[in-house]
């Protein structure tokens, strides 16, 4: 007997009571449609990583059969929609999932760092990410990049600083849920403040080929300049450089900074823009199925090349069907479980499952949704290589299109047309019961 999870059992029951497409009404399509009606076959996830007593197999209804060879059951439990995909999947879509758990971790005295770029997920050409951890007081050494650095604090408290090309100074503290952004070439530093657990954060770069191992580091540079040149440059005695490191420090332990950032500033902050943003203090916009916060250059002017939305989806809800007109979406899952189906045009569509710590990359204009498939709140970040956040809601598009045109395409009746929302829902709640 084939094992079925509760979800698959519910799927069978729901399909038995599914309402067939209308065949005749004032607003229904002709009795003989131009093409066959879409199937009513249920396509719920057949199991999740939380399912008990499930033996995952590539079987959906009458399709597929068992695996006779070796199996990686923990991976298959997390990826039911890859092993037993919904029947709506079709064609070939480039892999758009990466788990930071699979990234090589660079362990340092004081913390660690792991990254995702096009080497891990070739479709992710425009954006890459780094997950970094610092113990209390530990420093991510003074450095700069050729790409813009956007950051989201996952846990803990940090002090960041930077200097502009004009010699202006910015020093500030950030906490869980806050952001920072440093433009390309701006030298900066990151240090965990005094706490038991230190801090962890997410770095996002506006270049899919970015590598954290190719950072311009203060200690690495000075270790590769003759000491007599250093002495001449700084106009100080050469003996001052007797104790500079022989190679890069990258991450290293140190005493936590003083509690008040003003006590250690070389000069008071004098940049025209703030390079941090207190997203943790922004009130989320409530929706029928959760909430969201959007931060882009309209509220965080320094972040000219990266913007974001922090989204929560309650149990049974989903980020509505939508797409982003010109920019790809780099998504990081903070809590919960989700599934995403992307529509890539030309009848190509594929579904993946995601857990906390995973990354999704959805190319520009690909239609998609993000559904909460777990039993707890789903929280994730949508990040874009753009100064402005933009999306197009499928629901709103249909609601704002002449009704007869929508009826001609989809066979909706007047009651269905009336229920379409002229305002973006962003996050919709659980499915409405069939009446």
Rounded to two decimals, what is the model's pTM? 0.91
pLDDT digits (tens, 9 = 90+) for 99-122: 999 999 999 999 999 999 999 999
pLDDT digits (tens, 9 = 90+) for 81-90: 999 999 999 9
Q: Assess whether 299 and 269 both reside in one domain.
A: no
Domain extent for 386: 283-339+353-428
Select from 224, 255, 277 the last residue of a domain: 277
Q: Assess whether 367 and 237 both reside in one domain.
A: no
How many Å apart are CA 244 and CA 39, to the nearest integer? 69
How many Å apart are CA 177 and CA 310, to the nearest integer? 9
* DSSP result, 299-363: TSTT-SS-EEEEEEE-TT-EEEEEE-SSS-EEEEEEESEEEEEEE-STT-EEEEEEETTEEEEE-
Task: For residue 22, tell me if it sits in a domain.
Answer: no
The length of the chain is 435
- The predicted structure's pLDDT at residue 417: 96
Q: Which CATH number does the domain housing residue 293 bear?
A: 2.60.120.10
Q: Assess whether 153 and 290 both reside in one domain.
A: no
Binding-site annotation: residue ranges for Mn(2+): 143, 145, 149, 188, 322, 324, 329, 368
Select from 277, 307, 329 the last residue of a domain: 277
Over range 125-151, report the average pLDDT: 98
Task: For residue 215, tell me if it sits in a domain.
Answer: yes
Task: For residue 346, tell me if it sits in a domain.
Answer: no
Q: Assess whether 272 and 291 both reside in one domain.
A: no
Q: Assess whether 272 and 298 both reside in one domain.
A: no
- The predicted structure's pLDDT at residue 435: 58
Which of 90, 91, 76 is CA-nearest to residue 45?
76
Q: Assess whether 175 and 306 both reside in one domain.
A: no
Task: Count up the domains in the chain and report the number.
Answer: 2
How many Å apart are CA 340 and CA 415, to the nearest integer? 29
How many Å apart are CA 360 and CA 151, to the nearest integer? 17
pLDDT digits (tens, 9 = 90+) for 219-245: 999 999 999 999 999 999 999 999 999
* DSSP result, 231-286: HHHHTS-GGGGTTS-SS--SEE--PPPPSSGGGG-SS----SS-SEE-GGGSPPEE
Task: For residue 320, tell me if it sits in a domain.
Answer: yes
Q: Assess whether 134 and 264 both reside in one domain.
A: yes
Select from 256, 277, 298 the last residue of a domain: 277
Q: Assess whether 158 and 264 both reside in one domain.
A: yes
Over range 290-318, report the average pLDDT: 98
Task: For residue 37, tell me if it sits in a domain.
Answer: no
Task: For residue 11, tell me if it sits in a domain.
Answer: no
Establish whether 200 is a catalytic residue: no
pLDDT band at 13, cuts 50/70/90?
very low
Q: Assess whether 118 and 266 both reside in one domain.
A: yes
pLDDT band at 33, cuts 50/70/90?
confident
At residue 217, φ and ψ (nearest 5 deg) are -110, 140
Task: For residue 245, tell me if it sits in a domain.
Answer: yes
Q: Assess whether 273 and 410 both reside in one domain.
A: no
Q: Other CB atoms closer than 10 Å to residue 404's CB: what's the count?
A: 10
Q: Assess whether 269 and 403 both reside in one domain.
A: no
* DSSP result, 204-226: EES-TT--GGG-EEHHHHHTTS-
Active site residue: 76, 310, 371, 382, which one?
A: 382
Q: Assess whether 165 and 227 both reside in one domain.
A: yes
- The predicted structure's pLDDT at residue 432: 77
The percent of residues in the chain predicted with pLDDT above 70, rounded, is 92
pLDDT band at 71, cuts 50/70/90?
very high
Task: For residue 291, tell me if it sits in a domain.
Answer: yes
């Amino acid at each position: 007997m084939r094992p079925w999870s509760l979800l698959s059992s519910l799927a069978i029951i729901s399909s038995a009571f599914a309402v067939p497409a209308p065949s005749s009404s004032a607003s229904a399509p002709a009795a003989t449609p131009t093409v066959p009606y879409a199937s009513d076959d249920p396509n719920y996830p057949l199991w999740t990583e939380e399912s008990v007593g499930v033996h995952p197999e590539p079987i959906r209804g009458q399709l597929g059969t068992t695996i006779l060879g070796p199996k990686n059951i923990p991976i298959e439990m997390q990826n039911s929609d890859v092993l037993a995909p919904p029947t709506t999947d079709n064609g070939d879509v480039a892999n758009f999932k990466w788990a930071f758990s699979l990234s090589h971790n660079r362990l340092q005295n004081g913390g660690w760092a792991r990254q995702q770029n096009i080497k891990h997920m070739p479709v992710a050409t425009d954006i890459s990410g780094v997950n970094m951890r610092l113990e209390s007081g530990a420093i991510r050494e003074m450095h700069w990049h050729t790409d813009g650095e956007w950051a989201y604090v996952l846990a803990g408290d940090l002090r960041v600083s930077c200097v502009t090309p004009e010699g202006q100074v910015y020093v500030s503290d950030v906490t869980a849920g806050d952001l920072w952004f440093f433009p390309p070439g701006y030298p900066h530093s990151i240090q965990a403040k005094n706490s038991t657990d230190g801090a962890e954060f997410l770095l996002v770069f506006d270049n899919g080929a970015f590598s954290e191992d190719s950072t311009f580091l203060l200690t690495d540079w000075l270790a590769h300049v003759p000491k007599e040149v250093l002495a001449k440059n700084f106009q100080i005695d050469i003996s001052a450089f007797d104790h500079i490191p022989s190679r890069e420090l990258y991450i290293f332990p140190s005493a936590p900074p003083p509690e008040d950032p003003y006590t250690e500033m070389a000069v008071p902050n004098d940049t025209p823009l703030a390079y941090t943003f207190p997203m943790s203090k922004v009130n989320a916009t409530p929706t029928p199925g959760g909430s969201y916060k959007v931060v882009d250059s309209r509220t965080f002017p320094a972040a000219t090349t990266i913007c974001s939305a922090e989204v929560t989806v309650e149990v049974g809800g989903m980020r509505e069907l939508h797409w982003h007109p010109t920019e790809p979406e780099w998504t990081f899952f903070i809590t919960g479980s989700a599934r995403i189906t992307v529509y890539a045009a030309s009848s190509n569509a594929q579904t993946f499952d995601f857990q906390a710590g995973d990354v999704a990359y959805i190319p520009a204009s690909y239609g998609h949704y993000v559904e909460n498939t777990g039993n707890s709140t789903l929280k994730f970040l949508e990040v874009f290589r753009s100064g402005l956040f933009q999306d197009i809601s499928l629901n709103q598009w249909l609601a704002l299109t002449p009704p007869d045109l929508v009826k001609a395409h989809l066979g909706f009746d007047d009651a269905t047309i009336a229920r379409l929302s002229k305002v973006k829902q962003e996050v919709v709640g659980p499915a409405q019961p069939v009446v």
